[in-house]
Amino acid sequence: MDFRQEFIEFAIAQDVLRFGNFRTKAGRLSPYFFNAGLFNNGAALGRLAEFYAKAISASGIVVDGLFGPAYKGIPLVAVIAVALARSGRNLPFSFNRKEAKDHGEGGSIVGAPLAGRVLIIDDVITAGTSVRESVDLIRAAGASPCGVVIALDRMERGSGELSAVQEVEQNYGIPVLAVANLDDLMSFLHQRDDFRQNEAAVARYRQEYGLARSA
């Protein structure tokens, strides 16, 4: 099984990915809900990190270091660095404080110095605020943001025609990698008899709010 399909199965088993009726922050009624905060035990977080590592490796992107924006990116960047090291790719990692420290080592960055091509680690992209702050911090240190990796891309339009992911790619000129996206979810639902009852509702939602397909 492709690791993206495995990830969706894992997310469902952890109750991170649920089906039903959920109101999104945008006020839309969604037939599915993804809450990465529910990867909240050691075994689940370790397995999640392995999926991120596979997505990073599969992308072929050149990376010199990893950065996790506070707060959700902090545990993620640490466990993903461990997962990558176990697979033979040992990368430095760092994260930021919300408030700069004026004693001890000082500054707002904790961990390895930001240098070279830095990959930003996050769970999802909604408004893109944490990405913007991360890009600014990385560039201020003289390094280059080379991409963002997230757990799930809903491939859903924002207030305009673009998704939050596409807006990040357009605004900063960097790719956004996802462990899985809506295409992968639709494929999973279609292939699995035990979840196929959710396929029509997700397809309708996609028809209404999904990104326009290219001809």
Q: How far is CA 110 from the centre of its chain?
A: 21
Instruction: Quote the pLDDT of residue 215.
Output: 34
Instruction: Quote the pLDDT of residue 125.
Output: 86
**3 state SS of 134:** helix
State yes or no: is 101 an active-site residue. Answer: yes
Contact 182, 199 (CB under 8 A): no
Which of 23, 28, 89, 101 is catalytic? The answer is: 101
Q: Does 125 belong to an annotated binding site?
A: yes
Domains and CATH numbers, the chain: 3-209 (3.40.50.2020)
Instruction: Quote the pLDDT of residue 126.
Output: 77
If you compute the radius of gyration of the chain from its CA atoms, what whole number of angstroms results?
Answer: 18
Prediction pTM value: 0.92
Measured distance CA(204)–CA(182) in Å, rounded: 13
Q: Does 126 belong to an annotated binding site?
A: yes
State yes or no: is 54 an active-site residue. Answer: no
Instruction: Quote the pLDDT of residue 112.
Output: 95
**pLDDT < 50 stretches in the chain:** 103-106, 214-215
